[in-house]
Amino acid sequence: MSDRGSGIQLLANKAGLIVGVANKRSIAWAIARAASAAGARVALTFQGERLEENVRELAEGLNDPLVLPLDVTDDGQIARVFEEVDRAFGGLDFVVHGAAFALRDDLVNPFVQTSRDGFKLAMDVSAFSLIALSRGALPLMERKGGGSILTLTYLGSERVFETYRVMGVAKAALEATVRYLAADLGPKNIRVNAISAGPIKTLASAGIPGFNNILQIYRDRAPLRRTVDTSEVADAAMFLLSDAGRAVTAEILMVDAGFHATGM
Ligand code: NAP
C-alpha cells in the first residue's frame, strides 16, 4: 500500500519504533521503508556492533530517521531507546516488533532435547520482549491518545512444522501475549496485533533446517500457489499500523498466500 497510487499518506505525521532490522532482506526493513514512504518518521534499532553499519546505511534512505542500539533482553537499553525516541519524536504512534531468536542446537536437535537455557532465551527474545517494548511505549502512546503495536509470527505456533521446534512454542506464547496486551491496552486506545507471515528467506529463517522444503510446500499447496515477499507483509503492516486498521486489535492476520487454510 505505502503511498503507491492513492496519493494518500497513511502514516503522515506519525512516528514509530521498528525493532528487528538486520539487513535489506529483513521483514522489519520492508516495513520501515513502507512506513517512511507512507509519511512516518521512524527509529530503527540494531543489535550489537556487528549490525550497526548495515542498519545505519539502510536508514540513510529514510525520512530523518533515528538509529539506536537495542538488545531486547536488556532493560537498561530498552529504557534508553524510549528516552531517545521521546526526546526526538515527542511521543510515539506505533511500534513494530520483529525480533526473534533461538539457539542453533534447539533448532536442529529433536524437540524433546530442548535445553532449559535455550527455552528461556527463545521466550525472552521472541515473546517477553513484546511486553517489555509495549510497557516502554505506553506513556509515549498515551500522550498521543493511542497507538498501534505490531509483531511478526508464524503458523508454527499452532501447527507442527517439525524443524521449527522451540520457535513454535515461543510464537504460541507471542500470539497469546498479543491478545493479553490488546485487552490490557485497549482502553487506552492502543491496539496490539500480529502478522503471521508465510515463509520468506531472511537471516533468521536461514537457521530453520529444511527451510527450502517449507518454501516449496507453500508453492505447491497454498491457494495462491506461491510464497509471499517482504513488501506484501509491509503492505498489510501499513493497514494495521495506520488509522485504516483503527477497529482491529488482538488479531493475528495471516499474510501467507492462504496456506493456513489448507488441509490435504
Ligand atoms: P531477520 O532479518 O533475521 O530479523 C530478525 C531480527 O531479530 C534480527 O534483526 C535479529 O538481530 C533480531 N534479534 C535477535 N535477537 C535480538 C535481541 N536480543 N535484541 C534485539 N534484536 C534481536 O529475520 P526476519 O525473518 O525478518 O524476522 C523478523 C520476524 O519475522 C521474526 O519474529 C520472525 O520470527 C518473523 N517471521 C519470519 C518469517 C520468515 O519466514 N522469515 C515468517 C514468519 C514470521 P540479529 O541478526 O543480531 O540476531
Any ligand 1 atom below 6 A from CB of 22: yes
Question: Which of the residues are catalytic?
Answer: 154, 164
What is the reported pLDDT for 8?
Answer: 77
- Pairing, β 94-97 against β 66-69: unpaired
Pairing of strands 190-197, 147-153: parallel
Task: Return the pLDDT at 7.
Answer: 60
Q: Are 25 and 230 in contact (CB under 8 A)?
A: yes
Q: What angle do CA 25, 27, 29 make, to 5 degrees?
A: 75
User: Cβ(118) to ligand 1 under 6 A?
Assistant: no
Q: Mean pLDDT over residues 39-61, rounded?
A: 94
What pTM, to 2 d.p., does this model score?
0.97
101 lines ligand 1 (CB under 6 A): yes
Ligand 1 centre to CA of 91 (Å) is 25
Q: Give yes or no for residue 3 having a pLDDT over 50.
A: no
pLDDT tens per residue across span 87-101? 999 999 999 999 999
Mutate which of 205, 227, 253 for ligand 1? The one with the most ligand atoms within 8 Å of its CB, which is 205
User: How many angstroms separate the alpha carbon of residue 60 from the centre of ligand 1?
Assistant: 21
Band of residue 48 on the pLDDT scale cut at 50, 70, 90: confident
Whole-number mean pLDDT of the chain?
A: 96
pLDDT digits (tens, 9 = 90+) for 128-180: 999 999 999 999 999 999 999 999 999 999 999 999 999 999 999 999 999 99
